[in-house]
Amino acid sequence: MKKTAQHLFLKVTSPQVKRWIIPALTSLVVVSIFVAVLLTRQTAPTKQTPNQPVATTTLTSEDIGLPSPELRSGNSIEAVLKARRTRRDFLDKELTLKQVSQMLWAGQGVTVDWGGRTAPSAKSTYPLTLFLIANKVAGLEAGEYQYIPEDRTPVHRLKPIKAVDLQQAIYEALKESSFKNAPAVIVITGNMDKMAESYGGIPHDKEVYLEAGHAGENLYLQAESLKLGMVTISGFDEAKVKDLVTIPAGDTIIYLVPFGIPKQ
């Protein structure tokens, strides 16, 4: 038995065997290191590329006067009502400042010296605010603006908020085709607290939503009269919009209204 064990030991440690054991062990070590590195790469957390922020600059602090609204047109109200349609697809063309001015006035313009506007409001509260996202509007830098109709004397102007190109960002955030080529978007917000104050502190949110509907229909009719197209969008993630658009914290976004020159 001892002779057999000794014989095997001498056989294993013979020079001929050493010739293939050493290369085999070396190969085994190299393969083990390679597998360990590969497994480490697969289990390491993937480095996420952060979302690129939307580039912004500062607009002038001075309000921008808008062209005076037209009070007459060649279209009868009956013809405009008959032609009114929701239009979601727009040509990739810019709007004139005159067209934008007329749309904003139709939504919330002051029409009389006591402050009455184009859309009715419960207890003359007027809790709505119109914001303009200008993507391609002649005479306006791409950015955010607030429409200022004033409370009594109609001033009809824009208050610059921020210079920023939001067209692609809004389209990607909301996955809504209407924003893809829209040269402008009107954002209609409502201040629920302001309406509640008119009712002695009792919430009347319904009145605010109804008022937004009145303003939205005005915009539809005005757009049709101007041969423009538009759509009122209420189904959206408000948090995503507020991440992109500068809206007062106390306001609720009720409508997003992309508008432009319709494809058909």
Of the listed ranges 44-48, 75-79, 144-148, 164-168, the one predicted with least confidence: 44-48
The whole-number pLDDT of residue 134 equals 98
Of the listed ranges 36-50, 65-79, 123-137, 163-177, the one predicted with least confidence: 36-50
pLDDT tens, residue by residue, 192-234: 999 999 999 999 999 999 999 999 999 999 999 999 999 999 9
Of the listed ranges 27-36, 129-138, 249-258, the one predicted with least confidence: 27-36
19: pLDDT strictly greater than 60? no
Mean pLDDT value of segment 82-107: 98
Could you give the percent of the chain with pLDDT greater than 90?
A: 75
The whole-number pLDDT of residue 257 equals 98
pLDDT tens, residue by residue, 37-93: 444 444 444 333 344 455 556 666 799 999 999 999 999 999 999 999 999 999 999
The whole-number pLDDT of residue 60 equals 66
Of the listed ranges 84-93, 127-136, 147-156, the one predicted with least confidence: 147-156
Mean pLDDT, all residues of the chain: 86
Longest dimension (CA), the chain: 122
What is the C-alpha to C-alpha distance for residues 64 and 62, in angstroms, rounded to an integer? 6
pLDDT tens, residue by residue, 178-192: 999 999 999 999 999
The answer to whether 127 touches 192, Cβ cutoff 8 Å, is: yes
From the list 114, 113, 111, 108, the residue with the least C-alpha distance to 130 is 108
Phi-psi region of 126 (alpha: psi -120 to 50; beta: other; left: phi over 0): left
